[in-house]
């Protein structure tokens, strides 16, 4: 995985609506990327549903939360509707896993992203990284708030 202190790799990915989203769009704002293995899988469903419940508080802290997986924009769109979540999702679909690989968040053997969190600061520098010990282990939303508190978000 990429480590705290390193510059985040630049990227442009389509979101759940097919609109292009780039790292540079977040210059001056904090960004939390939530890498997760797959739309509609039971564990990812739990993870994003719980994050949704505290999304307002995360955003109040001045941080944009984005999910990332290798699913397509269309799948992301259906997944968001099914789950009733407002968390924007990025599609690292083609070339598959290219951006996730740059973050060290792509599992070649599985063909999916891993389950990890990456906090990127206003200057595009990675400030905090959490990789789940296993893909079925969900990082609690408390870890997001810990990371924000440590990074000085107010």
Partner 1 sequence: MSELTSAAVPALAPDDHVRGEGAELIVYADLACPHCAAAWERIAALPKRIVFRHFPVASKHPRAPALHAAAEAAGSQGSFFELVDSLFADRGHVDDPHLWKRAEALGLDLERFNEERRSETVAARVRRDFESGIRAGVAATPTVFRDSRQVPLGEL
Question: How far apart, in whole angstroms, are the C-alpha atoms of residue 82 and residue 154?
Answer: 32
Closest to partner 1 by CB, 41 or 101:
41
Binding of residue 134 to partner 1 (CB under 8 A): no
CB of 3 to partner 1, least distance (A): 22
Helices (H), 54-140: 55-60, 73-83, 98-102
Question: How far apart, in whole angstroms, are the C-alpha atoms of residue 42 and residue 111?
Answer: 17
Binding of residue 140 to partner 1 (CB under 8 A): yes
Give me 42's structure tokens.
């039971």
Give me 87's structure tokens.
């968390």
Residues 53-92 contacting partner 1, CB under 8 A: 53-54, 57, 60-61, 83-85
Closest to partner 1 by CB, 1 or 138:
138
Give me 43's structure tokens.
């564990």
Binding of residue 139 to partner 1 (CB under 8 A): yes
Residues 41-60 contacting partner 1, CB under 8 A: 43, 45-47, 49-50, 52-54, 57, 60
Instruction: Classify 68 as helix, strand or coil.
Output: strand
Burial class of 116 by CB neighbour count within 10 A (0 to 12, 13 to 18, 19+) = buried
- Which one of 13, 23, 34, 44 is the catalytic residue? 44
44 is catalytic: yes
Interaction site with partner 1 (CB under 8 A): 43, 45-47, 49-50, 52-54, 57, 60-61, 83-85, 138-143, 145-146, 148-149, 153-154
Catalytic residues: 44
């Amino acid at each position: 995985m990429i480590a705290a202190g390193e510059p985040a790799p630049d990227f442009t990915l389509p979101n759940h609506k097919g609109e292009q989203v780039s790292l540079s769009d977040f210059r001056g704002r904090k960004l939390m990327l939530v890498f997760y293995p797959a739309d509609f899988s039971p564990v990812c469903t739990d993870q994003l549903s719980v994050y949704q419940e505290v999304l307002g508080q995360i955003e109040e802290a001045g941080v944009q939360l984005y999910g990332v997986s290798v699913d397509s924009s269309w799948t992301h769109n259906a997944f968001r509707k099914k789950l009733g979540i407002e968390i924007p999702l990025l599609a690292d679909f083609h070339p598959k896993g290219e951006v996730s690989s740059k973050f060290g968040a792509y599992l070649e053997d599985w063909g999916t992203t891993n389950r990890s969190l990456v906090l990127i600061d206003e200057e595009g520098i990675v400030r905090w990284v959490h990789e789940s010990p296993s893909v079925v282990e969900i990082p609690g939303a408390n870890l997001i708030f810990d990371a924000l508190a440590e990074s000085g978000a107010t």
